[in-house]
Amino acid sequence: MSKLLDHRQALQVLDLLDRAYPEAGCALHFENHFELLCAVMLSAQTTDVSVNRITPELFRRYPDAFAMAKAEPASLEEIIHSIGLYKNKSRNLINMSRQLAEDFGGEVPGDFTALTGLAGVGRKTANVVLAEGFGVPKIAVDTHVFRVANRIGLADSDKVLETEKQLMQILPEERWTRGHHLLIFHGRNCCRARKPDCARCPVKEICRSALTVEK
């Protein structure tokens, strides 16, 4: 049996997950592109719920790139200290804001290369910002997407970038962004890292890992 699903099976997986998680979507709270970028940067190795707790005060005190560019690291650290890697994230937020203020008139660019040139912005963050903020079809591979995609058989790689490329090949472009959210929700609610709940999995009849275990 091939480790990869075919295109028909991949679409079936999306359809089943769509029915299982109709509420799937971006869980971060934001009002504009700048807030979205900051929230995504803060969400690395931290839950969206934790980020949503701190961003109201963060954006009240620093509502745009010009304000945050002038911030002292200690001031940001005081606001975001409850999340992981808060010292590095504080520095990155300030440096990113300075770049926006100096090079982009304070506006978040809707271009992948420009985004990944900003301090603290990697491929995953750029893809989320483009998808959620600019409506560009993208697949952002976080830990949930990476794990679930490779377990199910939508991808077969131990590398994040290769997993992203395989997902882009097997899924129709118009379903990339929605598919990304569905895989995240499935990873959080059922296909967890240590103990996946295969018994109630909506795609267990297709999932390559589940079928292998059964044999």
> Does residue 101 have a pLDDT over 90?
yes
> Does residue 162 have a pLDDT over 80?
yes
pTM: 0.93
Tens of pLDDT, residue by residue over 66-76, are 999 999 999 99
Band the pLDDT of 211: cuts 50, 70, 90.
Answer: low
Cβ(96)–Cβ(108) below 8 Å: no
Q: Quote the pLDDT of residue 2.
A: 67
Q: Quote the pLDDT of residue 213.
A: 52
Cβ(206)–Cβ(9) below 8 Å: yes
> Does residue 210 have a pLDDT over 90?
no
Q: Side chain identity at 191, as an amino acid letter?
A: C
Q: Quote the pLDDT of residue 215.
A: 44
Report the chain's terminal Cα–Cα distance, integer Å: 12
Q: What is the DSSP annotation of 97-126?
A: HHHHHHHSTTPPPS-HHHHHTSTT--HHHH
Q: Residues 93-107: what's their mean pLDDT?
A: 98
**Dihedral sign (CA 22, 24, 29, 35):** negative
Q: Which residues are known catalytic residues?
A: 124, 142
Q: Quote the pLDDT of residue 214.
A: 47
Higher pLDDT, 45 or 67: 67
Q: Residues 61-88: what's their mean pLDDT?
A: 97
Higher pLDDT, 84 or 1: 84
> Does residue 1 have a pLDDT over 70?
no
* Percent with pLDDT over 90 in the chain: 94
Q: Quote the pLDDT of residue 3.
A: 82
